[in-house]
Amino acid sequence: MSDDPTRREVGKAQMRAVYGWDIEPTKPFEVQTVDHLFGEIWAQGKLPVRDRRLLLIGLAAGSGLEDVAALQLDAALNLGELDADDLRDLVVFLAHYAGWPRAARLNTEVERIIERSEHRGDSAR
């Protein structure tokens, strides 16, 4: 477990930038997620969150991890980084590289995300 309050605060701030929320980690996996993944990996270098997110979406979609891609797409929509048209465009783009079956599964997730967003009344999307 980390005893570095600075890394913890950086990690929590980075989680807010990536997802719009953070957690107070209590379990070992949560500690590693906040302190290491977000406090170090997501926070290092000059690439902005949006660029990192797009890389992760592509990797996840290409690996058949539609749930991971969907989590990132949902966060991007909720944080205003991407809109519904962008999400749909990404599915079509990724279909040509990740394959149609994976893109079809991702498209199902995207349409659910958009529907939830519209249901909540996120009129900007």
pLDDT of residue 125: 43
Q: Note whether residue 125 is domain-resident.
A: no
Q: State both tokens at 108.
A: 């199902």
As a whole number, mean pLDDT of residues 67-76 equals: 97
Instruction: Let me know whether 106 and 57 are in one domain.
Output: yes
Please count the structural domains in the chain.
2
Tell me the residue range of the domain where 63 lies.
49-120
Contact 50, 17 (CB under 8 A): no
Instruction: Let me know whether 95 and 66 are in one domain.
Output: yes
Instruction: Let me know whether 63 and 97 are in one domain.
Output: yes
Q: How far is CA 59 from the centre of its chain?
A: 12
Whether pTM > 0.85 for this model: the answer is yes
Instruction: Let me know whether 77 and 98 are in one domain.
Output: yes
Please say if the pLDDT value at position 122 is more than 70. Answer: no
